[in-house]
Amino acid sequence: MKPIALFTLCLMFWVMNPSLAESQNRFDGLRFSQTMPSYDAASLSLGGATVTGFAGYGSYIQNPANIALIEQSQFSFGLSTRDVRESSTYLGNTTSFNDNQTAIGNVGYLYRFPTSRGSLVVGGGYTELADFNRASSINAFNESHSIVDFFLRDPGDQYFTTAFNAFAIEFDEEFEEYFNVLRADGTFRGMNQYAELTERGQLGEYSFVLGTEFQPNFYVGASIGVIVGDYRYRRDFVEEDLLERYVDAPFDISMLLTEDRINASIRGANVRIGALYEPVEGLRLGGSFTSRTVYDIDEIYSTFIRTDYYSLDQDGFNRYEDTFNGEFSYRLTRPSVTTFGVGVGLIPQLDLELSAERINYSRIEFNGLGLTQDRDENRAIRDDFNDVVNLRAGASFSVTPQFTPRVGYAWHPSPRKAFDGDIGFLSAGATLLLSEGINLDFGFQYAMYNDVLDIYQFSDAGIASSSQEVNRLQAMFGITFNF
């Protein structure tokens, strides 16, 4: 059994040199900085192309000036449901996993003041900005390396300490070094690896918004937003000796289970200004600017490790486990966003819009991870991330006063320089007039893209990773009352 002194040494080392921020890195910054082209059911069906036109309450995200276009006061409510299906290829074996969740997509109230000329509209509500749905799994025999190799890399961190207490790592008193029990005789005999990983949660904005026709055919608007969100990460990783290669090994380990949990709460604030101009009938030009958003992020996390051995020890046990719990807070700054758009009414029934959204992902910034890690992550962000322009297009056609179908497409180039992670969003939907003043909106959005999931690092140059084919379907349903 392990001497108490060694455990105390590990604990002291961790306190003095915390690697708490294992989970806080530039990819977390990217996750919390990216948004989806959705906002509400009508805006989603247009691919988020609402810089110069009002579709639904969430249209103000692209340009707050467009709320001044509404002809009646309104209250709207919508639900969002998302389903993600991922095929993962790891060590030549492909597995599939899926997850879905439903939440409030938007709720908003806009009041149009009676005016003799022009318009003045104020309102407030909630709008979904992004969701964090992911679901991945792997299942393969690994004959080269183990997740315990990763536990050994940083002596004193949460994984090392937990694995040591769970007897997945041992100490050689003769050579005075720690070692992986799966390599006790210098040979790794292979283990079956199975893992499930899910990410859930969403990011939304509570807002106060104002729009007015400042001059004839010239509209301006502004919004103040409070960002709130939650993020939940779950990973269950199993290594199992299904072929019984370790029955006669120096340490006859039969199974190793690792469970990682992260629960994060996100809070932030921003301001947004916009303008919209109609120089001639049927042509609209618009743009907006959203300030940098500073997020305060609080994380509660845990790591649980359990090892099962074939044989009993001198005390009659063959199962050992340990849990590490922690909390951590830091600050993340999302870059400012600039949008431009042009809308064209070709005929009274048909409306088209094209828009572009620029975001400088290389300006994401961490603060509070620690002086050295802040510097390293911010430097890596500048080196690894692109500044991108997201392109969006949407079209709506009023077939009858009671039925208006829409289609849209959004193209989001990859913000990562070293990986082709471009995403295309294909959208469609419609608005139905149920009765005088009551509209039913629905929209569907589909995206398919490739990704790479880094599972663990087993050496200085070696990373266990799987390739992902992601299929994502989002549906939004809303109802609007005009009065």
Question: DSSP states of 11-75 as a string?
Answer: HHHHHHS--GGGS-SHHHHHHHH---S-BSHHHHHTTT--SSS--SGGGGGT-GGGGGG-SS-EE
Q: How confident is the model at residue 370 (pLDDT cuts 50, 70, 90)?
A: confident
> For position 11, what pLDDT does the model report?
33
pLDDT at 20 over 90: no
| Spatial contact of 322 and 44, defined as CB atoms under 8 Å apart | no
What is the tens place of the pLDDT at every residue in 174-219? 888 999 999 999 999 999 999 999 999 999 999 999 999 989 999 9
Percent with pLDDT over 90 in the chain: 78
Average pLDDT (232-260) is 96
Which of 273, 378, 382 minimizes the C-alpha distance to 331? 378
> For position 249, what pLDDT does the model report?
94
pLDDT at 89 over 70: yes
192 or 14: which carries more pLDDT confidence?
A: 192
> For position 146, what pLDDT does the model report?
95
> For position 460, what pLDDT does the model report?
87
pLDDT at 17 over 50: no
Give the lowest-confidence range in 89-93, 303-307, 342-346, 422-426. Answer: 342-346
Average pLDDT (41-69) is 95
Provide the mean pLDDT of the chain: 90
Question: What string of DSSP letters covers 351-403?
Answer: EEEEEEEEEEGGG-EEESS-HHHHHHHHHHHHHHB-EEEEEEEEEEE-SBTTE
- The two structure tokens encoding residue 347: 């005929």
Percent with pLDDT over 70 in the chain: 95
9 or 121: which carries more pLDDT confidence?
A: 121
386 or 9: which carries more pLDDT confidence?
A: 386
Q: How confident is the model at residue 461 (pLDDT cuts 50, 70, 90)?
A: confident
Give the lowest-confidence range in 156-160, 329-333, 361-365. Answer: 156-160
> For position 23, what pLDDT does the model report?
54
CATH of 21-148+182-295+323-482, one of 3.40.1350.10, 3.90.25.10, 2.40.160.60, 2.30.30.230: 2.40.160.60
Average pLDDT (443-449) is 94
Query: Quick one: angle between helices 371-384 and 26-33, nearest 10?
Result: 60
> For position 367, what pLDDT does the model report?
92
This prediction's pTM: 0.86
Would you tell me how many other CB atoms lie within 10 Å of the CB of residue 435?
7
Please count the helices (runs of H) and the strands (runs of E) in the chain. 6, 20
